[in-house]
Amino acid sequence: MNELASICPANSSPEKKVFVKVQSMSVIGMESYPVTVEVDVSQGLPQFATVGLPDASVKESRDRIKAAIKNSGYAFPRDHVTVNLAPADIRKEGTGFDLPIAVGILAAEALIGEAALDGCLFIGELSLDGSIKGVRGVLPAAFKARESGIRSIFVPEENAAEAAMVEGVCVYGVRSLPDVVEFLGDRKTIEPLCVNADDLFQINRRYDIDFSEIKGQKLALRALEIAAAGSHNLLMIGPPGSGKSMLARRLPTILPDLSFEEAIEVTKVFSVAGLLSAGETLIAARPFRAPHHTISDVGLVGGGQMPHPGEISLAHLGVLFLDELPEFKRNALEALRQPLEDGTITITRSAVTTAFPAKFMLVAAMNPCPCGYFGDRVRRCRCSPQQIRQYQAKISGPLLDRIDLHVEVPSVRYRALTGKENNESSAEVRKRVVGARRRQQERFGGAAIPANARMTEKQIRSFCSIDEESHQLMEMAVEKLGFSARAMNRILKVSRTIADLDGAEKIGAAHVAEAIQYRSLDRNIV
């Protein structure tokens, strides 16, 4: 006999109740809130009413629930059914309330013992035939359930592995409404799902691509290593076919591995967005997101009537790659400015205000001109100087200031493409990156700064002091290239990262000189 059956034995004959409470969860943004589904069945004309600030997706569940109960072999009450989703001041959305509402109705009809519902939480969408479909936001709901003292969670079978990542609760993956009813009545056995989080963590953090597959592009590879070591934003400028996308996709392979806590954090975002595939439990590899340039600002930063995460949040603790950067809508690009600085995006709507994490590395790529061949060794550029300036001006100065590294990626020569020489593997580069990150963590101590790119103004003054020769280099660069104050800070941060890669305690003139060369778009090249 299972734990729940001991609460409500099979031979008991519970009296019909007219009022029942069932526990569920509502997900708003990244947070989950307990919702009590109150079901009242009273005499009167047959009617099914749902109150408690439900949205359209919850209201239209009435017909689904009716059909699911009938097609599962149970009788729907011919009375007045009122469902209240408490608390009533929080808006409810989604299809996850189907299962708890159906369970509440069947419990009111004495088909489920009310005592069997104690300490249990139900989430799931019902099909017309009574089967249970997956929903989004199960992982944060499971964490909140544990905090609330819930001991048993009933979720769709395809979401069970996701919820089982949370220790301290029994997770039951259910396929259909009759499975739930029969189990709660001790007429069927369902074993709680257990997963080995450590094994999944090791398996899921592997990559299928590697740095060694890249031919040539020594300067770009060096820039990627610096970007990874200091979590710096990067812009690559080069003609079509030079390998910019290939380089960007391999950046996550040299980043430090996610910790287990970080992997849970990333998985929560994908769970809330409903992007975890069936049976997927943990995202242990750093995410790589590459939205098309036609994406809207809402699709990029998140939003909606009930805010959902955008691409910048799906790239949390990973890489956001924007190919053909000047082709993105101006509003979408400008919306990146605040999350690039703060590492979070706050979305305010009339009904709710919520925040999504957005600590991502921005990697962008662009052609040097509209035709793409300005400065190319082989193909001739057809653009006028005015067209080139207008094209490059599509990226605002404030956004460029937030990109630490600008690197030119020329077309690769035939001999480099066909040569036998291979670049270093991702594992070899990652060792240096991890070493540089370790030095940064030791330097920052207990401060919540993951890497040099996140240093504050005060920390830049403390940790990025330079000698007289370096000051002269900076002065020449500012006078000739017109760097802004923010660009100067970016140069100091990159210099600090280069010094960390070299294992140097102090920033030298060579480090500053290399950092200055990664500001190519600040030069007057046309």
pLDDT digits 0-9 by tens, 439-456:
999 988 866 777 899 888
**pLDDT for residue 5 is more than 90:** no
Can you give the pLDDT at residue 6? 40
Q: What is the pLDDT of residue 498?
A: 96
Q: pLDDT grade, residue 418 (50/70/90)?
A: low
CA dist 391 → 325, 330, 332, 337, 395 (Å)? 10, 13, 17, 20, 8
pLDDT score of 342: 87
Chain segment 189-229, per-residue pLDDT in tens: 999 988 777 777 766 677 888 888 888 788 999 999 999 99
Q: How do residues 272-290 score in pLDDT, each as one tens digit?
A: 998 887 667 888 889 999 9
For the cut 90, the answer to whether the pLDDT of residue 171 exceeds it is yes
Residue 472: which residues within 8 A CB-CB, separation 6 or more? none
pLDDT confidence band for 90 (50 / 70 / 90):
confident
- Which amino acid would we find at residue 317? L
Neighbour tally for 346: CB within 10 Å:
15
Segment 454-466, tens digit of pLDDT: 888 888 888 998 8
Residue 17, pLDDT score = 62
CB 6 within 8 A of CB 183: no
Predicted confidence band of residue 145 (pLDDT cuts 50, 70, 90): very high
Higher per-residue pLDDT: 218 or 98: 98
Looking at per-residue pLDDT, the higher value among 457 and 310 belongs to 310
Tokens for 326, please give them: 């000047």
If one compares 455 and 6, the residue with the highest pLDDT of the two is: 455
Predicted confidence at residue 132, as pLDDT, reads: 97
pLDDT-derived band of residue 402, with 50, 70 and 90 as boundaries? confident
Specify the amino acid at residue 339. P
pLDDT above 90: percentage of residues in the chain: 54
Distance of CA 522 to the CA centre of its chain: 32
**Which domains occur in the chain, in start order?**
3-184 (3.30.230.10), 196-430 (3.40.50.300), 455-526 (no CATH)
Residue range 23-66, pLDDT digits in tens: 999 998 888 999 999 999 988 888 899 999 888 888 889 999 99
- Please tell me the distance from the alpha carbon of residue 81 to that of residue 318, in angstroms, as a whole number: 48
pLDDT at 447: 67
Average pLDDT score over the chain: 88
